[in-house]
Amino acid sequence: MHQGNRLFNVGLAANPDGAANADNFIDLEQLMAIARRQAKTVVITAAVGLLLGIVYIVVATPGYTAATSILLDDSLGKFADEVSPAPANMQTDTTILSQIAILKSAELAEKVVRKEKLDENDAFMNPPRSIFSSAISGVRTIIGLFGSNKPTNTDLSAADLKREYAASLLQSSLDVERQGRSFVIDLTFTSNDAELAGRIAKAYADVYLSDQLDANFDATQRATVWLQGRLTELKENSQAAALEVERFRAANGLTAAKGALVSEQQLSDINSQLILAQADTARALSLYNQYKSIVAAGPEGAVNNAAVVSDQAGTSVIGTLRTRYLTITKREQEIVSRFGQDHPQAVSLRTEEQDVARQIFQELQQVTESYRNQYEAAQSRETSLREGLNNATGKTSMANEALVHLKDLEQNSQALSNLYQTYLTRYQEASQQQSFPIAKARVISVASTPTDPSSPKRKLALAASLVLGFFAGAGLGAWREYRERFFRLGEDVRALLGVKFLGYVPKLDGMAEAKKSPLPTEGQTSPARTNIIRMAADNPSSLFAETLRNIKIAADVMLQGKESKVIGVISVLPHEGKTTVAANFAGLLAAKGAKTLLIDGDLRNPGLSRALSLSTQRGLVKAIMDDQPWQNSVKIENKTKLAIIPTVLHRNLLHTSEILSSPGMKKLLEEARGVFEYIIVDLPPLGPVVDAKAFAPLADGFVMVAEWGVTPRALVKSVLQSETEIAPKVLGLVLNKVDMKRLAKYSSYGSSEHFMERYSSYYIDQTGSAPAKK
């Protein structure tokens, strides 16, 4: 489990569906684990916040707030003002925001200062300040020294500057707000003096109402003066424009009658007459062509064709003759049918019939000639009217060019006249408004002297301090979790490094004392030596010894088949406890009867030899480089019979890595393999020191030690990835200096670490480490 880096993970590893959708769910179990780990931080920070709140309440200067309410009532000025064309809601919001800005303005504040003489009031100018206010003022002063300096007006006197300062103090303690969506404005003023707060709040309302009256009167007076001067100018311009219109009309003969020019009326009349003349010409031509075609057909068809025109006006004679002709024809037919065609009466009737037909034809000829004369007269009249229209059109076109300029002059004259009338009306209204000294606001709640302080609000301050402290603690805890980059659980080791986790080593309090023990004199037995080597051997039922036995099992299994095993103990950083683990691991093996050799391989900083307080002139370096047998450098621990080759620090020794990889070291280990079953080598830490890397070809395996909650995971991973000769030989990793009380807080519910305290009865811990809970 990677603490602090992962708030989303798999709920149950055995659930493949849950693993597939791991990123879609919040791991509440891990969140609860984080809360348990950081609960102490949150509680302490919340308590500090609450304490600061109490301190604030104790040292804060009490403040008294006086309030007054002002109603903006437009109905008070309805007799003096005209209705605004703007929408009512827009007008209301704009008006209220404007009045709030006026109440907060510096000008109104200066008027209140003058009215109440606040610049001469020492209680107002120098109010008592709390510690917090003084601190904030000091910080602002320091910031102002480094900030941009505002230009000061050197023309102001000391009294004016003092008055400006008083106005700024007044504005800083003033609060103006609208009451909901109403027309009421609430004005509050806070001061450490209750009587002064009530007096200033009341003065503010009075000054505001007076300022409204003065502003209305001044604005109306300025508008009246300006309108009067503007009216004189507009009147002269309007008269000049009207006179120019009349002069241009007379010069161009643009006489008008009934709203239109004479030339235009004449053109309209001629055009109407021409239309009528054209209709008359067409009608006369139609009749003339009709009779002309009848006459052209000859006398034979005159009688029949006479039936077509007999119904038209002016053809009554033709109709009478045709009626007579039809009567004769009918009589003739009766005679013929009774007496035959040769009957004298039939012959007489045919003669009369022919005479009537001739008369009809002659009458048609006379009518045709009459229509021809009418057509020619209509055509002549049309031609005359057309000529008159052309003449009138030419005159009108010339007049139209002048008319365009005339209309422009008339529009200019009309615009000036309208503008003059508008300004005249507004001037009269402004003159009348000067006689209405009415303010559009009234005080509906008069400020009084407050009896109880309004600040500090004790309950709110305490609640806010507690809540802020809680959130600060939560933020600090979250930051600590985010900063968590260290090994906490065996699961971290297996998941990130892919190596075997060998167990936990509790934090040993006696180790620090052992490191600080002085070197023993000749012939003395060091108590620290016995303590360090036999911590696990003397406490075989401790968790420390259990972890070391797990290391032995891992070595026996992974190095199976090797009669003698060379095991190096390494770490990434110094002071991670690898020396303690190496010494106790070797001591435990020796206590169990295994022939064990412990070698201090840290030639640059022999921490094992220093911790064991071994006083000797011979060490590992002489055992490798001298011709004498290496056995002369071996020290034997009396109780466990553990063989130890210490290291004597040589300041002039530079190439320690070459010594550890030299043929002499190889020979020493080969000879030692024939004697010992286990050879434990305490090596320098990895990283920039290459001694362990140089020793790697001679070792059968490595046990890595990492300090719990200190060694970064990423560092261990990067070092193992870079050390390709060491990584394959790593038997496993031990987490050292583990705080067993806090271990369960980093584990999930299903892990063994969560139930570690239940195994406490199986461990009898006398090593000085913190005991687990029973």
> Which pLDDT does position 7 carry in this prediction?
34
Residues 174, 179, 181, 182, CA torsion sign: negative
Looking at residues 293-311, what average pLDDT do you find? Answer: 65
Mean pLDDT value across residues 550-560: 92
Provide the pLDDT for residue 676: 94
| Amino acid 237: pLDDT | 84
Q: Residue 328: how many CB atoms within 10 A of its CB?
A: 20
Written as six digits, the tokens of 149 are 């300096």
**Residue 489: how many other CB atoms lie within 10 Å:** 23
User: What does the pLDDT average to over 600-608?
Assistant: 86
What is the Cα–Cα distance from 483 to 498, expressed in whole angstroms?
23
Query: Per-residue pLDDT averaged across 408-427, rounded?
Result: 81
555, pLDDT greater than 90:
yes
> What does the alpha-carbon distance between residue 431 and residue 220 come to, in Å, rounded to a whole number?
8
Dist CA 546 CA 505 (whole Å): 9
Residues 453-481 have a mean pLDDT of 85
Q: Is the pLDDT assigned to residue 254 strictly greater than 50?
A: yes
Higher model confidence: residue 613 or residue 181?
Answer: 181
Separation between Cα atoms, residue 578 and residue 571, nearest integer Å = 6
pLDDT at position 549 is 92
b/e code 583-614 from CB counts within 10 Å (16+ = b): bbbbbbbbbeeebbbbbbbbbebbbbbbbbbb
- The answer to whether 604 touches 684, Cβ cutoff 8 Å, is yes
- Span between the terminal Cα atoms of the chain, in Å: 26
Q: Are 50 and 462 within 8 A, CB to CB?
A: yes
- CA geometry: angle 567, 572, 576, nearest 5 deg: 85
Beta bridge partners of residue 506, listed in sequence order: 738
* Inter-CA distances, 210 with 167, 186, 214, 224, 443, Å: 18, 18, 6, 21, 12
For residue 711, count CB atoms less than 10 angstroms from its CB and return exposed for 0-12, middle for 13-18, buried for 19 or more: buried
Beta carbons of 649 and 656 less than 8 angstroms apart: no
Q: At residue 520, does pLDDT exceed 50?
A: no
CA 31 vs CA 36, 213, 244, 483, 709: distances in Å: 9, 66, 93, 16, 19
Mean pLDDT to the nearest integer, 90-114? 86
Indicate the average pLDDT of the chain: 78
Which of these, 725, 688, 687, lies nearest to 706 by C-alpha position? 687
Per-residue pLDDT at 521: 35
Look at residue 475 and give its three-state secondary structure. Answer: helix
**Position 303 confidence tier, pLDDT thresholds 50, 70, 90:** low
Tokens of 259: 């709203």
Least confident residue range of 286-295, 499-508, 634-643: 286-295
735: phi then psi, degrees, rounded to nearest 5: -90, 120
pLDDT-above-70 percentage for the chain: 76
pLDDT value of position 185: 92
State pLDDT tens for residues 149-205: 555 555 668 888 888 888 898 898 899 999 888 889 999 999 888 888 899 999 999
418-431: burial string, b at 16+ Cβ within 10 Å, e else: eebeebeebbebbe
pLDDT band at 36 (very low <50, low <70, confident <90, very high): confident
For residues 459-482, average pLDDT: 86
Per-residue pLDDT, 250: 74
Average pLDDT over residues 244-270: 69
Distance CA 280, CA 382 (A): 9
Nearest to 205 by CA among 106, 77, 111, 123: 111
CA dist., res. 414 & res. 230, Å (int):
17
Residue 635 has pLDDT above 80, yes or no: yes
Q: Is residue 428 very low, low, confident or very high in pLDDT (cuts 50, 70, 90)?
A: confident
